[in-house]
Amino acid sequence: MMTEIKDNFDRTFKTLRVSLLNTCNLACVYCCFGNEDSKENYRSSKGQMLTADELLKLIAKLHERLDLDVVRLTGGEPLLYKQLPELVSGIRAIGINDVKLTTNGLLLENIAPALKAAGISSINVSLDAIEPEVYHLMSRRHDLSRTLKGIEAAHRLGIEVKINSVVMKGLNDSQILPLLAYAFQRKMKIRFLEIMAMGHLHGSADKHFFSQEEILSRIDTHYPASPLPRKSSSTSNYWQTADGNVFGIVANESEPFCSDCNRLRLDAYGNIYGCLSSNSPISILETDPQRLDDSLREALAQKQSIKFTGSTLSMLHIGG
- For range 39-58, the mean pLDDT: 74
Total number of residues shown for the chain: 320
Bridge-based pairing of strands 282-283 and 271-273 is antiparallel
In the chain, alpha helices (H): 52-66, 84-94, 108-118, 132-139, 144-156, 176-185, 212-220, 289-300, 315-318
Query: What is the pTM (predicted TM-score) of this model?
Result: 0.93
**Rg for the chain, CA atoms, rounded:** 19
Q: Which of 46-50, 89-93, 232-236 has the highest mean pLDDT?
A: 89-93
Q: What is the tens place of the pLDDT at every residue in 55-107?
A: 999 999 999 999 999 999 999 999 999 999 999 999 999 999 999 999 999 99
Please name each of the domains of the chain with its CATH number. 15-318 (3.20.20.70)
Mean pLDDT of the chain: 90
Q: What's 225's DSSP letter?
A: E
Q: Band of the pLDDT at 108, cuts 50, 70, 90? A: very high
Give residue-wise pLDDT tens across range 140-151. Answer: 999 999 999 999
Burial level of 295, CB count in 10 A (0-12/13-18/19+)? middle
3-state secondary structure 272-320: EECCCCCCCCEECCCCCHHHHHHHHHHHHCCCCCCCCCCECCCHHHHCC
Strand partners, 71: 16, 99
